[in-house]
Amino acid sequence: DQQVKQNSPSLSVQEGRISILNCDYTNSMFDYFLWYKKYPAEGPTFLISISSIKDKNEDGRFTVFLNKSAKHLSLHIVPSQPGDSAVYFCAASVGGNTGKLIFGQGTTLQVKP
Amino acid sequence: IAGITQAPTSQILAAGRRMTLRCTQDMRHNAMYWYRQDLGLGLRLIHYSNTAGTTGKGEVPDGYSVSRANTDDFPLTLASAVPSQTSVYFCASSPFGGNQPQHFGDGTRLSIL
């Protein structure tokens, strides 16, 4: 049972345009969400996070939106750059003090010059 | 450079053999984690440790064991490797357990034949 789902395995956008990556979850107890970026042969790198008490968090070109009623979050990258080409994972925390994260399957983003 | 070091970077192992994946961090983080990444499944938590001397089970703990004798090291052991344990293994850490980003190593690619 996949509690965190990224239904789009891949996304291709033109440089300078907006990239929107989506993530759905099923567990209403999740209270903290994160996005990670991963290049080949490297570990995931933390990008941005959002607490369930917020509906938006912004950091430079990256904005995460959270819609709790729809159990949906999205990552917007504006403007997209070729260096953004990577696999993006969303993750959710079950809360408490364990730090356990549940990851989605990942979406491969390709930004074309 | 501070961070997480994983060893080996890759390994081919015969089924039935014992294998220990090493993970060392120099950030003095209290919490450490082991994940496996498989195509189409994202990253799944195997075991975690919130502080030296304590460990806990993640989503997919069967066939794996961990120990946390000190703050810096968190080895993962496969007592008797099976082909289904072929995967890329990532170690991660965070200052404490709970809702905060985890920092990842670059992974160990393990193939069980």
Q: How confident is the model at residue A17 (pLDDT cuts 50, 70, 90)?
A: very high
Which residues of B are less than 8 Å from A97 in CB distance? 50, 96-98
CA distance A73 to A50: 10
Tens digit of each residue's pLDDT (9 = 90 or more) over B61-111: 999 999 999 999 999 999 999 999 999 999 999 998 888 899 999 999 999
- Band the pLDDT of B2: cuts 50, 70, 90: low
Predicted local confidence at residue A95, as pLDDT: 76
* DSSP conformation class of B73: B
Q: Which helix (DSSP H) or strand (DSSP E) does residue B49 occupy?
A: strand B42-49
Given a contact cutoff of 8 angstroms between Cβ atoms, the answer to whether B94 and B104 are in contact is no
- pLDDT given for residue A42 in this prediction: 95
Asked if B56 reaches chain A (Cβ–Cβ under 8 Å), the answer is: yes
What gap in Å lies between CA A78 and CA A84, rounded to an integer? 10
Alpha-carbon distance A38 to B106, whole Å? Answer: 10
How confident is the prediction for chain A on average, in pLDDT?
95
Separation between Cα atoms, residue A57 and residue A75, nearest integer Å:
10
pLDDT: which is higher, A62 or A96: A62
Probe site for chain B from A103, A107, A108 (most B CB atoms < 10 A): A103
pLDDT tens for residues B18-47?
Answer: 999 999 999 999 999 999 999 888 999 999
Q: Which two tokens stand for residue B22?
A: 């090493």
Q: Is there a contact between A43 and B90 if contact means CB atoms under 8 Å apart?
A: yes
- The pLDDT of residue B98 is 84
pLDDT of residue A15: 97
The tokens describing B16, both together, are 């039935």
> pLDDT class for A98, splitting at 50, 70, 90?
confident
* Dihedral class, residue A96 (left if φ above 0, else alpha if ψ from -120 to 50, else beta): left
**What's the confidence (pLDDT) of residue B22?**
98
Best A98, A105, A107 residue to mutate vs chain B (most B CBs within 10 Å): A98
Task: Tell me: pLDDT of B1 over 90.
Answer: no
Q: Do A89 and B42 touch (CB under 8 A)?
A: yes
The tens digit of pLDDT for each residue in A55-95 reads 999 999 999 999 999 999 999 999 999 999 999 999 999 87
